Structures are given as C-alpha cells and as structure tokens.
Homo-oligomer: A and B are copies of this chain.
C-alpha cells in the first residue's frame, strides 16, 4: 500500500451533512419558491433561455417528495482549475445515487467537458471512489478547460448523453463552466432529452458568490493553506529582521484570496485590485504607497516586512490594463510580423511605432524581464497569461529603484533586501479542510436531489454555512437568475456575474480599518497548518470573509440558547 498516513485516515472521515439529508429521499421535499428573474437584461436573457428562464428557487426541507427511487444514471464533469473538495462533490453524488437505488450508476467524463464531447468516460465504482474520499486534486477523472460551444460539440454531447441514457449531468466548475451548464440545460430540453443539468460552484478564487451562493468550494482550504505559509513567512521576517518578502497570490479577476489571507495574518501591506481600480492608481502611486510603509518601518528600526500582491493586480491598475489591452490587440492583429522580431530591441522599436505614446512610455519604463513576460505567448483566448507575469518582482524592482532615489536624497538610511514568492499551485490540490469536505459532500447530495426531483438548469447551493453543519440549508438556484450580459472578446454574451470585492462590504471595511496599524506595527498572526482531527475549535475554523459577511450563526445560536 502506497498511501500516506493522512490519506488512509482521511478515507475514513465521514463528512457531515445538514439534518434534512439524513432522511429518506422520499421525505425530503423540494419546496418551490417564487419565480425568479435575472440580475439585469431580463428580456434578453428570457429570450436566450426560453425554456429555463424564470424558474423558482428550490429549498430542501423535511416533507413528502415525489422523488423517484428507480435506478438512475448520472454523469459528472470536473471543469477548470483544481479546487480542494472536488472529489467530495463526486463522493456525495455517488453516495446519494446508491442510497436512492443500489443499481444507480455514476459515470465520470475524463479530462473535463472534452470527455463528454468525445464520449471518453469511466464508470465510478465503489473501489474507485473509496480511494478519493476527502482527498484533494481532481485526479479521479481529471479536468480540462474546454467549453461545449460549437454546434458540433453540442451535437456530440447530446449523442453521448443519449448513448449512455443519462438522467442527469453534473458540471463542477467556476462561473464560465456554470454558464456553459445553463446552455447545455437549454440545448438538452430543446433536443427533448430527459437529461437534467446541474452546476456546482467551484473556485479557490472566491469570485463565484452572490445572494444565494455564500462561498465557492475550495476557497476555505486554499486560503487556509496560503495563510499558513504567509504566517510562517511573517514569523520568519520577524525573527531574521532583514528581509521584505513580496508574495503573489492567486486571484486574477478578484482579490478575495489576498483579502482573506490578510485578515488571517495581518501583513504590512496587502494590495486589493478592486480598490486600485476604484482609485485609478498608477503603478507609480502603488510604488509610493509601499515605499512609504517601508520607510516608516525602517525609522522604527524594522527593515523587514511582508507584502501581499493578488496576481490580477496589473489588470486592475488602469494604465497597465490599457497597455495590456493594446498589446493583446496589436499582437493578435500582427502575429506573423511580430514573431519575426527576434531581439528585444527589435520588438521595442516595433512597439514604439505601434503603441500609443502613453502605453509605450509605460512599457519602456518597466524592467526588461517584465516587458518580456508581457510579450510572451497569449492564451487560447488571445489574453496575456497573468499568472506567468512576475508582478511581485515588478513591484520589487520599482520599489527598489524608489528606495535608491530616497537613499541618494538622504531620506532613507535603512536596509532593503527582498525575496519573492508565488503561492498558488500548492493550494489548489490540498486535502480539503473539514469545512470543504462537508460542504462539497453536501453539494453532491444537493445536486443529486435537484436532478432526481426533475429540475434542470440549476446550481446546487448551501446556506447558513457559518452555523453548525446540521443547520445548513440546501437550495437549488436557477442558473439564469445569476446571469447578466457582458462584453467578452468583442461580443455581448450571457455570463454569470463574477463577484468582485465590495469596497463597502464588511470584509474590506475590516481590513481598511486595521491596515495602517498592521503596516507600521508588527502584529502578525500565525494561523498554522490546517488541522483535520481533534476539536472543532481547531479543525473547523470558519473563513473570516464568510464570518464578516454572514455573521457567526453558530455563536448566535449558542447565545440564544444561553439566554
């Protein structure tokens, strides 16, 4: 046997579920709410999704259900980047299917949506699922970033779904994958398939969140792991007292990860993309903001510190965003002539002629390594690959230059020495925390019950997540009500709105209130490693963002009882 002790012990963990899910499925009632409407562009969306628009929210409560108990066949797809807990959605789904009827079957499509298009799948049986319970990664069936968009892809998907006789298809993914799920639901109904389509909200970035979705799965585990490492670095700088560590964190479209980690560890600087965009800060202003804190700390004899940088930050700084847009367009329009330019000087001269003056001046002011990264190969959508750009090193370079200036002017007498980090990949496939284990398993059950009760075009949702698990409330939410119309790649298309940090929301306000203290005074917090065993006090620590947004329901309940 080649399993680590942790792996062996995690196989035996029994995920907790809301009380209602321990009932017989015939006694779990899908309570039907009022019909819903999209966030914006209601008429357009109604037209785009004629057969799923306006459906009601579903709440699962104790009561009589018409849920079938005949054998069912479900398919499941993992879509996009890994997030801790994916295996538990699948094990929840599997257990619910087998609880409903022991002859029910679960098929896993391999390597993402592509597996459905190509008819590439395996049956998920007991021996297999038991090796993946409560473990990280998406390796049980692999994942992929393909979308099912073209007519041909849709036709192939329908063919494969028919061939297997699937009663439901569960798509575990982020905002784009769930948008794709909404389309599939529509196409399946149109094709008169009885196959229901259910989405499950996944992303460590935390930007798939709204009135009905309190948190996407994986965010809890990933931010705990990053905070462990950041806390360790904080302790290290406070011991060695001679380095500034610049730490880049994942989060391209939103800075939720950085904000949560900052609330957990209290670093000296944490940049928030949404704030920089709102204030329209330039790179120069960001540099001055960080430098100012370095100078003040140095005056206190503390030539050390920790800076958190969300990876998406450069797209939030308006001038950088404009530069990147210009570069994307130029490189797409002139791909052939651009790739012929072999030297950096050659590229620079070419860009001088083609870029706007403002954009070129900014480009020319950047360190060469960063300029080269901005000119790297684009992703399949023609976008620069943000996680490949060493933003943390860009800031180090700019701040170092600023510090040199100040030294010359006699305004800085301290020392300034740096290290750069990028924490990302090490958190996407960690063993899911007990929270993510329980949450994902419950999401798997919810997805099953939605489809088994005949709903399609829904996303599984669980609320009251800051309460004890037994009081969690499972819902089904129509995907169409979470949609809006946005311009993507030049076309206006329906999308699930990405949740950015609300600068008036409690998590940001809490950060804003404290950051000047954290900047100058050394008041780091050290969360330590994720604990999976022992008391709930240590192995069920809720996410700060969620606690601030939703309040601590567990504590409130206890408070009530105490009265």
Contact = CB atoms under 8 A, between A and B. Distances in A.
Contacts of A231: 4
A369 interface: yes
Given A139-B235, A426-B233, A7 B528 contact: yes
A534 B533 contact: yes
Contacts of A526: 4, 6-7, 135-136, 431
Given A235-B136, A526-B135, A528-B10, A426 B4 contact: no
A487 to B, nearest CB: 29
Nearest to A81: B240
A172 interface: no
A235 B81 CA distance: 12
Interface in A98-145: 111, 135-139, 142-143
A9 interface: yes
Nearest to A84: B232
Contacts of A111: 241
Given A2-B525, A430-B529, 8 more contacts: A4-B528, A111-B241, A137-B236, A142-B241, A232-B425, A233-B426, A236-B426, A431-B529
Interface string A232-265: 1101101111000100000000000000000010
Contacts of A3: 525
B229 A6 contact: no
A432 B419 CA distance: 23
Contacts of A82: 235-236, 239-240
Interface of A: 2-7, 9-10, 81-82, 111, 135-139, 142-143, 225, 228-229, 231-233, 235-236, 238-241, 245, 264, 266, 369, 419, 421-422, 425-431, 523, 525-535, 537-539, 541
B236 A429 contact: yes
A531 B528 contact: no
Contacts of A430: 228, 232, 528-529
A145 to B, nearest CB: 9
A429 B10 CA distance: 27
Nearest to A243: B425
A541 B4 CA distance: 10
B533 A533 contact: yes
A6 B4 CA distance: 24
A425 B531 CA distance: 21
Nearest to A525: B4
A2 B523 contact: yes
A264 B3 CA distance: 10
A529 B525 CA distance: 19
Contacts of A2: 266, 523, 525
Contacts of A525: 2-4, 7
Contacts of A537: 5, 9
Contacts of A239: 82, 137-139, 142-143, 429
B135 A426 contact: no
Nearest to A138: B239
B229 A426 contact: yes
B429 A232 contact: yes
Nearest to A528: B6
Nearest to A239: B138
A137 B425 contact: no
B429 A235 contact: yes
Given A137-B239, A534-B534, A232 B427 contact: yes
Given A232-B427, A232-B429, A426-B229, A238 B529 contact: no
